[in-house]
Amino acid sequence: MERVRTKLRQGGSRWLLAGSLAVGVALPRVAFAAPAGTEAAPAGTEAPATPRPVVSAWRTDASLTGNYFSGNLDQAQLLGRIHVRTSGPRVGVDVLGSGFRVWSRVGDTPYQRVGDDLSGTVLPFLYVRPKVYLQGHAGYGSSLSRKVDGRVNVGASVGLTPVRTEHVLFRGSVGAQVERADYATNQFNTDIGQPGTTHTVPRAVVASNGWYRVKGTPVSLRYLSWAMVDPLHLSDHRAYLDLGLDLRVREGWSTRLTVTAARDSVVPVGVSASEVRAGLGVAWVTPRAPTQE
């Protein structure tokens, strides 16, 4: 059974990478489609007709970051991410995907794959007021290093966006989800009253995200954070924080520094409840429309 799970995880990693590359290649062609027509010169002038620019509502942000350190334990980490977004004044959707892999070795032994994390999330949203929105959530993830064969979260939330401009965004939401997680073991550090390898729990969720683009500079910052708890067992809680710093080197391309921190109070025996990752790499972002977030 463990051999089958390993094959499925390896296959899922290949499909995630292939899908991310396919989306990253296809969407720019849509975003920069040829103009649909031209705009005529005003009557009574001889100015030639000029093309009418076509700006796509789709936006893609793809990045590849990693790190390496050497000592008694040599380790290399690689993180690939893609964020596809389309939005208008009121309605939009975010689609996020990521894949994380770790290789390590001791001494002169060959490198071995010791960690695979895969995740995908779909977040549709609707602004019902200029600063108030409703948001759905559907996500899936797995982690070899944390012994999670699969985790599904489905739910909804209501949010507030006090700041929403071209250069600054800050918003937060509260909501509820149902979570089902399948683990590779039934031995956990905390007893939450659910024996076996499958846990199904309700979640109360608080989330926030935003960015800040420094005017007149190539620097931008962004963050994503959330915390969730099982209201029936308060000792079962999880939290996540993702920070990013971009330095634009040319149109569409940036150097990206990322730091992520995660905390999970209920984990299989032998797995750390907390982890912090940092990486440096490159990011590619399609141009955004003037009115697009």
The domain spanning residue 217 has which CATH number?
2.40.160.40
* C-alpha dihedral sign at 239, 190, 13, 72: positive
pLDDT-derived band at 288, boundaries 50, 70, 90:
low
Which residues lie across from 221 on neighbouring strands?
Answer: 212, 245
- Residue 190's domain comprises 2-32+58-285
Is there a domain that residue 83 lies in? yes
Per the model's pLDDT, the better-predicted residue between 55 and 133 turns out to be: 133
pLDDT-derived band at 241, boundaries 50, 70, 90:
very high
Is there a domain that residue 281 lies in? yes
Per the model's pLDDT, the better-predicted residue between 225 and 290 turns out to be: 225
Is there a domain that residue 171 lies in? yes
Is there a domain that residue 161 lies in? yes
Kindly report the CA angle at 24 between 19 and 27, in degrees rounded to 5?
Answer: 115
pLDDT score of 150 more than 60: yes
Is there a domain that residue 40 lies in? no
Over residues 11-25, mean pLDDT: 39
Per the model's pLDDT, the better-predicted residue between 9 and 191 turns out to be: 191
Is there a domain that residue 22 lies in? yes
Over residues 139-160, mean pLDDT: 95
pLDDT score of 194 more than 50: yes
Kindly report the CA angle at 224 between 83 and 56, in degrees rounded to 5?
Answer: 30
Q: What is the pLDDT of residue 192?
A: 77
Is there a domain that residue 290 lies in? no
pLDDT score of 61 more than 80: yes
Residue of 171, 159, 84 lying closest to 126 (CA atoms): 159
- Quick check: 238 and 265 in contact, CB under 8 A? yes
Q: What is the pLDDT of residue 87?
A: 83
Over residues 227-238, mean pLDDT: 95
Q: What is the pLDDT of residue 195?
A: 82
pLDDT-derived band at 89, boundaries 50, 70, 90:
confident
Total domains, the chain: 1
pLDDT score of 289 more than 80: no
Is there a domain that residue 241 lies in? yes
Which residues lie across from 105 on neighbouring strands?
Answer: 74
What's the maximum distance between 2 C-alpha atoms anywhere in the chain?
A: 82
pLDDT score of 51 more than 60: no
**274 by DSSP, 3-state: which?**
strand
